[in-house]
């Protein structure tokens, strides 16, 4: 992975090295804790940086059969790093393999691939370099101009307030909100349905903290909640925003959406393949009027896709 990694043509090399390389980064989906930024945290070891909150790495470690104590548990940081190092060589072809080694190269000056055999040596080298950096220093090293943090729905935003008031902090740090509460100020009434009860509880708290009086939230499976009785009680929706998991929408969910017959559907997807399947199922009553892909993971096949549908 040299300086021309993934740059296979002269045009690509020119565009990156002459135009893009020194441009600032605007990261609208960041996993850095706003508290760590506000306190300008100094990290004790590479495991705190890499494995402290990265669910992408957690997922690969779980696929690799690593015990949870060495993923999100209270296991020793060095043992956690060894466990990740044991999994990483199996990920050749996965963007995680590329990201991890590019970080080792660009931040820590480490050129060799990370394996179980050299995990301890690389662990020590990384920790030595980390002793010279804080959270903000790492952001500056990558020319970060702005980030949107991934916040708890009931966050009181006090860490964001501290960052905003800090005259020494030149990087813009912004919170991210749930869809229902985000659109509430532009709608007469918003109803949110979510399978995870904890998320509903947090959404209610978030609405209260932000003074939103026009939102309602219901916990349960959409196919069980969005019944004829529910529509009769709350009214037929003008706009329905759906954001399913990668597996897309269950056939029963498609059925209740068709039955609810909203005037417009906005479908947010992290898997265009299952989204295309669902759009075909909705085609009997809805036509696609707009499509907007969002490339959140450059140089990978992953893309978010937002589709607007209007009732025929």
Span 72-92, pLDDT tens digits: 999 999 999 999 999 999 999
What is the pLDDT at residue 125?
97
Residue 163, number of CB atoms within 10 A of its CB:
22
Q: Residue 271 pLDDT > 60, yes or no? A: yes
Q: How far apart are CA 102 and CA 110, in angstroms?
A: 9
SS3 for 196? coil
What is the pLDDT at residue 33?
85
Alpha-carbon separation of residue 286 from 75, 124, 174, 235, 278 (angstroms) = 51, 57, 36, 20, 11
Quick check: pTM over 0.75?
no
Span 16-29, pLDDT tens digits: 999 988 899 888 77
SS3 for 283? coil
Residue among 226, 227, 180 at smallest CA distance from 199: 180
Confidence of residue 1 (pLDDT cuts 50, 70, 90): confident
Span 27-72, pLDDT tens digits: 877 778 899 999 999 999 999 999 988 888 998 999 999 999 999 9
Long-range residue pairs from 220-228, CB within 8 A, at least 24 positions apart, any chain: 220/193, 220/195, 221/195, 222/193, 222/195, 222/253, 222/256, 223/250, 223/252, 223/253, 223/255, 223/256, 225/193, 226/193, 226/256, 226/257, 226/259, 226/260, 227/256, 228/259
Catalytic residue from among 154, 270, 284, 308: 270
Q: How far apart are CA 187 and CA 214, in angstroms?
A: 8
- Catalytic residue check, 30: no
Confidence of residue 154 (pLDDT cuts 50, 70, 90): low
- Beta-carbon contacts of 97 under 8 Å, excluding residues fewer than 6 positions away, are 88, 91
∠64-196-223 over CA atoms, to 5°?
110
Confidence of residue 101 (pLDDT cuts 50, 70, 90): very high
Tokens representing 205? 């708290």
């Amino acid at each position: 992975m040299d300086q021309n990694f993934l740059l296979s043509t002269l045009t690509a090399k020119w565009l990156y090295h002459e135009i893009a390389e020194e441009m600032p980064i605007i990261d609208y989906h960041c996993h850095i804790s706003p508290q760590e930024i506000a306190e300008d945290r100094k990290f004790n070891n590479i495991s705190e940086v890499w494995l402290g909150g990265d669910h992408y790495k957690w997922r690969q470690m779980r696929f690799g059969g690593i015990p949870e104590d060495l993923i999100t548990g209270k296991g020793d940081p060095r043992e956690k790093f060894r466990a990740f190092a044991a999994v990483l060589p199996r990920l050749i072809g996965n963007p995680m393999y590329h990201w991890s080694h590019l970080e080792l190269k660009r931040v820590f000056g480490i050129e060799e691939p990370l394996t179980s055999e050299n995990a301890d040596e690389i662990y020590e080298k990384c920790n030595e370099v980390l002793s010279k950096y804080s959270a903000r220093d790492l952001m500056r090293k990558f020319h970060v101009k702005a980030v949107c943090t991934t916040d708890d729905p009931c966050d009181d935003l006090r860490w964001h307030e501290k960052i905003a008031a800090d005259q020494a902090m030149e990087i813009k740090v912004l919170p991210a909100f749930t869809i229902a509460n985000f659109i509430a100020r532009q709608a007469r009434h918003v109803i949110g349905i979510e399978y995870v009860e904890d998320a509903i509880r947090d959404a209610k708290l978030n609405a209260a903290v932000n003074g939103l009086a026009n939102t309602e939230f219901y916990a349960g499976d959409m196919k069980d909640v969005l019944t004829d009785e529910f529509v009769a009680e709350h009214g037929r929706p003008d706009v329905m925003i759906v954001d399913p998991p990668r597996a897309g929408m269950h056939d029963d969910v498609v059925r209740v959406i068709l039955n609810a017959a909203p005037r417009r559907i906005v479908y947010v997807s992290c898997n265009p393949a299952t989204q295309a399947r669902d759009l075909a199922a909705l085609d009997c009553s809805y036509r696609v009027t707009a499509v907007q892909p969002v490339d959140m993971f450059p140089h990978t096949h992953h893309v978010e896709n937002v589709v607007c549908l209007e009732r025929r």
